[in-house]
Structure 1
Amino acid sequence: MYDIVVNAINFETWPRGAQYGARLAALMEASLTGAYIYPSPLYAMPSFSTPELIQAVTDTARVLEAGAMAAERPFVAWANDMGVERAAWMVGQGHLSDALVQIATWHDLLVLERHPEWTWASPPDLAILVLAVGLPCIVVPPEPVGEVSLARMAVAWNGSTEAIRAVHAALPLLQRASEVVLLRGASKDAFQEVSWKPPFDIDAYLDRHGIHARSQDLACEDDEVGEVLLEQADRLHADLLVMGAYGRSRFSEWALGGATRYVLWNARLPVLFRH
């Protein structure tokens, strides 16, 4: 995990998402890219516009872009002060989800933050980003960010394809933990049309990567999984929860599965999602 990108929701201060991303990058000795994205002035243009209005909207966009571009040096200096040796700043114009999907292609991890007052960071937009970006995403909760630690980590495990992908994506983080706990829910066959002998063994897989995890069963109904996951992560004082982001179907991936949706909207700790 060498390249971390964080969505900077403004460029005058560095909010929770940027703080978490910077501290994580320093801990992992990774590079950090701050990405500020603003909408095209075309989005703000009404159907019937006067030349004066078009000029005003265009001028506003130019001012915003100039201010964002000028934030490169302050961001890099701030990241260096946070212990990040390699930092970069990029400014994009366009739809937020499209821009993040694009910039994600040359990074290993995307850091987002959840905030009820920001339209894009509330349902369904945050869910769309998590499912569409094609990259592991750490979603930072509204609570203040303290020191970033990876000492104790919880993994939501049910054997699904999404859970396997999440564990694989989180390996560099899990290898730094002094304690890893598998929170085991009802098993889901990841390969329903294929039979493997022996079947995939998560404990053996982790052990091959130097991770010695202990297991804890989740005794709950399907519609309680999200709530129970967060309760157990809280009892463990976990620094990070790792879980697969599950869409309801292949044809409507914007609609999250119940456990994923609950954790995404209610987690009080950072959560690594992988679709």
Structure 2
Amino acid sequence: MNDLLALADRHDDWEANFGFAARLAVHLGARLTGLNIYPTPAVPSGLYGAADTFAMILESVRKAETDAYAAGDAFIAWAKAQGVHAAAWQVAEGNPWTVLQRLGNRHDLLVMARDAGVADSHVELGQILLHCGLPLLLLPPAWKGPAQFDCIALAWNGTVEALRAIHAAQPLLQRARRIVILRGELRDTYAEIGWLPPFDLNAYLAFHGVQAEMQGIAESGDAAGPALLEAAHLQRADLLVMGGYGRSRFSEWMLGGATRHLLGQSTLPLLLRH
């Protein structure tokens, strides 16, 4: 994790919007890029005075663009004052998942916080997770915790997505004091190709110099999300690592599931990878 990308909607309070990402960048010795995305103006139609309304919208968007670009020098100066060795500032127009689909290829980790004021925030966060192309470190609203994760919980159900998330978390696992595997119901082995070799998570972690404890989780389906969160809290974990959309994305999105629940409700930082 040598290059962090931090997304926030505002640039009027660097500490509130980017403070955690800056501390994490210092902890990892990583470069930090701050990102501000402003919306593409929507063209109203079929309304009296639509042209005037659109002109006002366009003016507001262009002001947001100008202000965002003007904030770049202040962000870089602030980040360096926090101890970040290299910092940059990016501004883009559009919806976040489309922008991140391109920017994600340049970075190792996306850091952002869930917005408590947005209803159904899991919808946009789900789109970001699916399209950003890199691990997502999602913080609860107004999170003030330390950037050092002493105890990390790993949600494990044997899926490709779960292993991908654990692999992405390696730089954090190497620095943690304690690792706990929260082992849920493993995916049906008959759904896998028969000649694939068996996988031992403990052996994989040990190969990377990581020793882990094991804790079973009985619940599955809609109950898995709350159960994972409760178990992580009981283990005093300060980070939960999990795969995103372990079963089909459509079924989890429509019917519920661990990813959907935790995207909208987690009270712990999450590291997710689709």
Query: Residue 260 of structure 1 corresponds to which residue in structure 2?
Result: 259
Query: Residue 56 of structure 2 corresponds to which residue in structure 1?
Result: 56
Query: Residue 14 of structure 1 corresponds to which residue in structure 2?
Result: 14
The CA deviation at 1:206 is: 0.7
Q: Does 1:82 align with 2:82?
A: yes
Matched residue of 2:191: which SS? coil
Query: Residue 173 of structure 1 corresponds to which residue in structure 2?
Result: 172
Matched residue of 1:124: which SS? helix
**Identity level (%):** 44
**TM-score, scaled relative to structure 2:** 0.90
Amino acid at match of 1:124: V
The CA deviation at 1:114 is: 0.9
Query: Residue 127 of structure 2 corresponds to which residue in structure 1?
Result: 128
**TM-score, scaled relative to structure 1:** 0.90
Distance 2:150 2:190 in 1: 32
The CA deviation at 1:190 is: 7.1
Q: 1:29 to 1:14 in 2, by over 3 A?
A: same
Matched residue of 1:110: which SS? strand
The CA deviation at 1:17 is: 5.1
Paired residues of 1:153 and 1:238 also in contact (CA < 8 A): yes
Q: Does 1:102 align with 2:74?
A: no
Deviations along 1:221-262, one digit per CA (max 9) or x if unpaired, are 443221111111112221211000116526667558511112
Amino acid at match of 1:75: F
The CA deviation at 1:55 is: 3.6
The CA deviation at 1:192 is: 3.0
Deviations along 1:110-152, one digit per CA (max 9) or x if unpaired, are 1121123136x71311112112222110111024313221211
Amino acid at match of 2:44: P
Counterpart selection for 1:46 from 27, 44, 47: 44
Amino acid at match of 1:231: E
Paired residues of 2:153 and 2:232 also in contact (CA < 8 A): yes
Distance 1:50 1:222 in 2: 47
Q: 1:255 to 1:210 in 2, by over 3 A?
A: farther
Alignment map for 1:1-275 (pairs within 5 Å): 1-14=1-14, 16=16, 18-41=18-41, 43=42, 45-48=43-46, 51-118=51-118, 122-189=121-188, 192-196=191-195, 198-246=197-245, 248-249=247-248, 255=254, 257-275=256-274
Amino acid at match of 1:117: G
Of 147-156 and 57-66, more deviation after overlay is shown by 57-66
Paired residues of 2:155 and 2:242 also in contact (CA < 8 A): yes
Distance 2:238 2:70 in 1: 34
Of 29-38 and 145-154, more deviation after overlay is shown by 145-154
In the alignment, structure 2 segments of 5+ residues that lack a partner are: none
Deviations along 1:25-66, one digit per CA (max 9) or x if unpaired, are 11111111111000122x2x3115655444433332222111
Paired residues of 2:140 and 2:269 also in contact (CA < 8 A): yes
In the alignment, structure 1 segments of 5+ residues that lack a partner are: none
Amino acid at match of 2:63: V
Counting matched residue pairs gives: 272
